[in-house]
Amino acid sequence: MVFYLLPLSQTVQLAQPFQAENIIVFQSAQLDLTPNPGRGHDNTSVNIFSAAGDILLTISIRRAENAIVMNSLPASGNWGTEESVPLEGRFVNGGLNTTITVYDHGDRFQVLIDYNTIHYYAKRIQKNGTAVSYLTDQASPFSNTLAVTTYKAFASIIPNGA
């Protein structure tokens, strides 16, 4: 397990590559899902980057659209087709310890909100993650700094009784 602080509008390099069987948990101490109509796209995202600058996965919270959107962007290409799920009812913790979790299955990412699976996103770029970022185009629904924890495998999350 490795812990990071990820401030808004920043990118943090990971100590070890994010690869198959690894898990990343983004955690916020607050949550405000009230849309900001008429103030831009109202788009806040967490992103996983490769060493080459590809966005392997973006998870975009779009309050005004009532959507959580996932996509990928090759460093020298264009965004792919967006995959989305409704935002309403996804965050169940009421803002305390709100989480976005990504589990790399090798061929796809499992995306969980507050530890409930919302989507399986087929990997479009077959590379390992080396950095994460937290961006918004206006006021974020999350804390100004996210706690980010990476795990080497699912088994490392479960206490072993030792």
- CA 32 from chain center: how many Å? 17
Residue type at 13 in one-letter notation: Q
Report if residue 28 sits inside a domain: yes
Q: What is the pLDDT of residue 162?
A: 46
pLDDT < 50: residue spans in the chain: 161-162
CA distance 70 to 113: 13
Q: Please state, in angstroms and rounded to a whole number, the distance separating the CA atoms of residues 120 and 127.
A: 17
Number of domains the chain contains: 1
Distance CA 120, CA 129 (A): 17
Where would I find the beta strands (DSSP E) of 19-62?
23-28, 43-50, 55-62
**In terms of residue numbers, what domain contains 23?**
2-155
* CATH number assigned to the domain comprising residue 66: 2.60.120.200
Whether 145 is covered by a domain: the verdict is yes
- pTM for the whole structure: 0.93
| 161 assigned to some structural domain | no
Task: With respect to residue 160, please indicate whether it lies within any of the assigned structural domains.
Answer: no
Distance CA 162, CA 156 (A): 12
At 20-52, the pLDDT tens digits run: 999 999 999 999 998 876 666 789 999 999 999
Interatomic CA distance for residues 105 and 21, integer angstroms: 6
Residue 78 counted as domain residue: yes
10 Å CB burial of residue 88 (0-12, 13-18, 19+) is exposed
pLDDT of res. 39? 60
162 domain-assigned: no
Quick one: CA torsion of 5, 154, 119, 131, rounded to 10 degrees? Answer: 30
